[in-house]
């Protein structure tokens, strides 16, 4: 199976290509501008992959508030052209979506059929992307993930480690809850999905829930970094885009389809710190659960 992976230079696309291996054809904007309809249709028609895993997205959540047209162009129009191209060659399609399609008002984990209500430009465009995929394709997987981090690209874990080293004290939001998602773990799930025909909408993140504050404290603990984390409220953190207070995602959809759950977020964070060199010695949470790559 030939699998085209968009956003191959990003943290998730990078790990998806690595997980799929020789079957993967990784592309980024230097190879294809997905916002150009004719270029996209021609490129996909010529390449004719068996499946497309669409990881490319405009993910600058705060910047999107000032650049809504650019965000819409990438997340909605780019997705539309790829979906049209996939339909033309009868290719399977995975669309990566986000917890930001929800407003976070529920006091329980979100199910896949709960009503979306995005609070930000980014969230609205990702939801429009979902609707676009549903309207065009039948052989699709829509996968909502949250708080993605990995060895490639920028993310919360890398930022919090850098700030901890530079300042010794960091202020982190303590009243927003969700599940971190480790890109290598998610990549394994996406690879399993694309080789199946269990189409539908899924929630995928590492097991367990935490606040950003809890996440930061654990990262410092497992990395052995002597830094302090001070809890603050979301209202104290200056951000242009509103984030959902509850980003917890139910994994019932994965269980119903027979897909394996991802490891715990603590295991994932420990593995990241080992592989990234954030800690000199791997902790038991990493060594006992994984073979380092």
- What is the overall mean pLDDT for the chain? 93
Cβ contact 145:96 at 8 Å? yes
Q: What CATH number has the domain bearing residue 133?
A: 3.40.50.720
Active site residue 177: no
More confident residue, 275 or 40: 40
Domain encompassing residue 49: 3-154+179-207+248-262
Structure tokens at 171: 């202020």
Residues 246-261: what's their mean pLDDT?
A: 96
Residue 246: what pLDDT? 97
Residue 108: what pLDDT? 97
Q: Is the pLDDT confidence value at 293 over 50? A: no
Question: Other C-beta atoms within 10 Å of 128: how many?
Answer: 18
CA distance 291 to 86: 35
Q: Where does the pLDDT of residue 86 fall: very low under 50, low under 70, confident under 90, or very high at 90 and above?
A: very high
Residue 274: what pLDDT? 82
DSSP secondary structure, 72-137, as one string: HIIIIIHHHHHHHHHHHHT-EEEEEEEGGGS-S--SSPBPTTSPP---SHHHHHHHHHHHHHHHH-
Residue 153: what pLDDT? 84
In a domain, 162, yes or no: no
In a domain, 37, yes or no: yes
In a domain, 19, yes or no: yes
Please give the tally of structural domains in the chain: 1
In a domain, 56, yes or no: yes
Residue 278: what pLDDT? 59
CA distance 263 to 207: 6
Q: Is the pLDDT confidence value at 277 over 70? A: no
* pTM of the predicted model over 0.75: yes
In a domain, 114, yes or no: yes
Return the H-helix or E-strand segment holding 86.
helix 78-89
Structure tokens at 105: 């008002």
Q: Which regions of the chain does DSSP assign to beta strands (E)?
A: 3-6, 24-27, 51-54, 92-98, 140-145, 148-149, 169-173, 177-178, 181-182, 200-203, 210-211, 228-232
Percentage, residues of the chain above pLDDT 90 = 90
What confidence tens digit (pLDDT) does each residue in 137-169 have? 999 999 999 999 998 888 999 999 999 999 999
Residue with tokens 């008002």: 105
In a domain, 284, yes or no: no
Residue 275: what pLDDT? 77
In a domain, 172, yes or no: no
Looking at residue 175, the DSSP 8-state letter turns out to be S
Residue 279: what pLDDT? 58
Q: What are phi and psi of 98, to 5 degrees?
A: -150, 155
Q: What are phi and psi of 244, to 5 degrees?
A: -70, 140
The active-site residue, picked from 122, 177, 182, 213, is 122
In a domain, 228, yes or no: no
* CA 232 from centroid of its chain's CA atoms: 25
What confidence tens digit (pLDDT) does each residue in 91-148 have? 999 999 999 999 999 999 999 999 999 999 999 999 999 999 999 999 999 999 999 9
Question: How far is residue 265 from each of residues 26, 198, 286, measured CA to CA in Å?
Answer: 27, 25, 11
Least confident piece of the model among 27-31, 163-167, 240-244, 279-283: 279-283
What confidence tens digit (pLDDT) does each residue in 201-250 have? 999 999 999 999 999 999 999 999 899 999 999 999 889 999 999 999 99
Residue 245: what pLDDT? 96
């Amino acid at each position: 199976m030939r699998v085209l992976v968009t956003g191959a230079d990003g943290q998730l696309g990078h790990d998806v290509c690595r997980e799929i291996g020789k079957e993967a054809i990784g592309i980024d904007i230097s190879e294809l501008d997905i916002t150009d309809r004719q270029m996209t249709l021609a490129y996909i028609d010529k390449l004719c992959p068996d499946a497309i895993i669409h990881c490319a997205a405009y993910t600058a959540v705060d910047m999107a508030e000032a650049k809504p047209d650019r965000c819409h162009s990438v997340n909605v129009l780019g997705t539309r052209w790829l979906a049209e191209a996939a339909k033309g060659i009868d290719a399977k399609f995975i669309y990566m979506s986000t917890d930001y399609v929800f407003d976070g008002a529920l006091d329980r984990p979100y199910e896949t059929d709960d009503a979306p209500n995005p609070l930000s430009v980014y969230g609205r465009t990702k939801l429009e992307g979902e609707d676009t995929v549903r309207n065009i394709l039948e052989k699709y997987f829509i996968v909502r993930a949250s708080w993605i981090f990995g060895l490639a690209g920028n993310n919360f874990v890398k930022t919090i480690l850098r700030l901890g080293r530079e300042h010794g004290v960091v202020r982190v939001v303590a009243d927003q809850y969700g599940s971190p998602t480790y890109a290598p773990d998610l990549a394994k799930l996406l690879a399993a999905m694309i080789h199946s025909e269990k189409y539908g909408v899924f929630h995928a993140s590492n097991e367990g829930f935490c606040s950003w504050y809890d996440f930061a404290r654990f990262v410092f603990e497992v990395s052995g970094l002597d830094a302090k984390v001070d809890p603050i409220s979301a209202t104290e953190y200056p951000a242009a885009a509103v984030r959902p207070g509850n980003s917890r995602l139910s994994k019932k959809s994965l269980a119903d389809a027979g897909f394996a759950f991802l490891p715990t977020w603590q295991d994932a964070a420990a593995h990241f710190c080992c592989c990234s060199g954030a800690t000199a010695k791997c902790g038991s949470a990493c060594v006992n659960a994984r073979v380092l790559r």
